[in-house]
Amino acid sequence: MEPVFTMASWAALCLGGFFYVIGAVGLNRMPDLFTRMHAVSVSDTLGVGLLTLGMAIHSGASLITVKLLIVVLVLWTTGAVASHALARAALHDGEKPVLVGADGRLTPTDCVTLFPELGPRLAQPLSSEAVETGADQGDPAAATWIPGRSRSGDTNATASAAAEMGMAAMRINMLGALGLMKMFRIGTMSSARSRGRTRDRGSR
Amino acid sequence: MMFAVAILAVLAALALAVVRALAGPTAFDRLLAVNSIGTSAIMLLALFGFLTDRPEFLDIGITYVLLNMIGTLAVLKFFRYGALGHAQDPERDEALR
């Protein structure tokens, strides 16, 4: 590989790693959910993009570059979608952004007081289905969405269910890790153990 | 060598995201951190493939990306309808029950 390409690859990988760590540091240092999302978006777009660019320069024009392109395009699109869904759900759940108050200190502020036009939109429930079924049962808690309170009236229902989904995602990740370990051990995912081992030894 | 540097950076970011996932005061913080962990895992897979000169690890990376996408769609549906098992149409939902 030409020295120019090597240097470009080096620079992209180092910059990408730098922005990736910056985003993760922001995830821990920022005061509230919305600023944390802002920090993570740095590593999810610029960090991932630069790291992938570094790898793409390294591999040159090949099938691997196409695969890298697929990975980065899917990551960019789903990242934006996930951020939007997360922010929307958090606002509906009554999450208060931490802003500089009148006394110059950081205080959790209800965003309806800042943007009154948000009020009616936040007063609507996320689920149209819930309105219909709630009206049928004559349950006032189900018919009107109150920020900070989920549909069932139980404050933690949405939160605990979201935590369960996080656990499910972690379990999927764990399965992936086990598959990866198998791949390391025997060189392939599908072949018998003995055959894989000899192949792995031979390749090193 | 350069891939090792990038892997170290991604590992550091992964550790910080785990800290936030454990400490996060709300479920949304945890969800954000878990999403970040997933992205880090994908980058780690790709970089490790290049480090060991076996870029076929990228195929596993693509699988992970698609899993992440399905997870995102599941989260979207969950927050939209409050449950994963419901159909969009209430009447059809009753029929399924």
Sort A95 into a burial class: Cβ within 10 Å, 0-12 / 13-18 / 19+. Answer: buried
Q: How far is B21 from B30, CA to CA, in rounded Å?
A: 4
Taking the CA of residue B11 and the nearest CA in chain A, the distance in Å comes to: 9
Q: In chain B, whose CA is at the least distance from the CA of A35?
A: B29
Q: Flag if B75 and A86 touch (Cβ within 8 Å).
A: yes
For chain B, give the secondary structure using H, E and C: CHHHHHHHHHHHHHHHHHHHHHHCCCHHHHHHHHHHHHHHHHHHHHHHHHHCCCCCHHHHHHHHHHHHHHHHHHHHHHHHHCCCCCCCCHHHHHHHC
Say yes or no to pLDDT of A184 above 60: no
Say yes or no to pLDDT of A16 above 70: yes
Q: In chain B, whose CA is at the least distance from the CA of A84?
A: B76
Tokens (6 digits) for A97:
């952004």
What's residue A121's pLDDT?
72
Instruction: DSSP for chain A, please give it.
Output: --HHHHHHHHHHHHHHHHHHHHHHHHHHHSSSHHHHHHHHHHIIIIIHHHHHHHHHHHH-SSHHHHHHHHHHHHHHHHHHHHHHHHHHHHHHTTPPPEEE-TTSSEEE--HHHH-TTHHHHHHS-S-HHHHHHHHHHT-HHHHS--TTS-TTS-TTHHHHHHHHHHHHHHHHHHHHHHHHHHHHHHSSSSS-HHHHHHHHHHH-
pLDDT digits (tens, 9 = 90+) for A112-152: 777 777 777 777 665 544 444 444 444 444 444 444 444 44
Report the pLDDT averaged over residues B4-28: 91
Mean pLDDT of chain A: 72
Report the pLDDT averaged over residues A16-43: 92
Q: How far is A47 from A17, CA to CA, in rounded Å?
A: 6
Nearest to B68 among A78, A88, A180 (CB): A78
B84 in Cβ contact with B78 (< 8 Å): yes
What's residue A126's pLDDT?
57
Task: Name which of A27-41, A140-154, A168-182, B59-73 the model is least confident about.
Answer: A140-154
Report the pLDDT averaged over residues B2-27: 91
What's residue A8's pLDDT?
93
Say yes or no to pLDDT of A15 above 50: yes
What's residue B68's pLDDT?
80
Q: How confident is the model at residue B6 (pLDDT cuts 50, 70, 90)?
A: very high
Q: Please report residues of B whose CB lies closer than 8 A to that of A37.
A: 32
Q: Please report residues of A whose CB lies closer than 8 A to that of B48.
A: none
Q: Please report residues of B whose CB lies closer than 8 A to that of A186.
A: none
Query: Chains A, B: CB contacts under 8 A, how many?
Result: 196
Taking the CA of residue A89 and the nearest CA in chain B, the distance in Å comes to: 6
What's residue A131's pLDDT?
43
What's residue A152's pLDDT?
44
pLDDT digits (tens, 9 = 90+) for A43-70: 999 999 999 999 999 988 888 999 999 9
pLDDT digits (tens, 9 = 90+) for B19-68: 999 987 887 888 889 889 999 999 999 999 999 988 788 888 888 888 88
Return the top range by mean pLDDT from A69-73, A81-85, A197-201. A69-73
Report the pLDDT averaged over residues A58-85: 88
The dihedral of CA B60, B63, B69, B73: what is its sign? negative
Question: Please, how many CA atoms are within 13 Å of residue A131, restricted to the half-sphere of its CB?
Answer: 10
Say yes or no to pLDDT of A36 above 80: yes
Say yes or no to pLDDT of A166 above 90: no
What's residue A65's pLDDT?
92
Q: In chain A, whose CA is at the least distance from the CA of B58?
A: A67
Q: Flag if B12 and A21 touch (Cβ within 8 Å).
A: yes
Say yes or no to pLDDT of B94 above 70: no
Q: Flag if B67 and A151 touch (Cβ within 8 Å).
A: no
Which phi and psi (to 5°) does residue A126 adopt?
Answer: -65, -30
Q: Flag if B43 and A20 touch (Cβ within 8 Å).
A: yes
- Which carries the bigger pLDDT value, residue A33 or residue A167? A33
Which of A170, A145, A42 is closest to B79 using CA atoms? A145
Taking the CA of residue B79 and the nearest CA in chain A, the distance in Å comes to: 6
- Which carries the bigger pLDDT value, residue A176 or residue A37? A37
Q: In chain B, whose CA is at the least distance from the CA of A150?
A: B82
Q: How far is B15 from B37, CA to CA, in rounded Å?
A: 9
Q: Flag if A14 and B80 touch (Cβ within 8 Å).
A: no
| Nearby residues of A45 by Cβ (< 8 Å), 6 or more positions away | A76, A79
Nearest to B29 among A17, A33, A150 (CB): A33
A161 in Cβ contact with B31 (< 8 Å): no
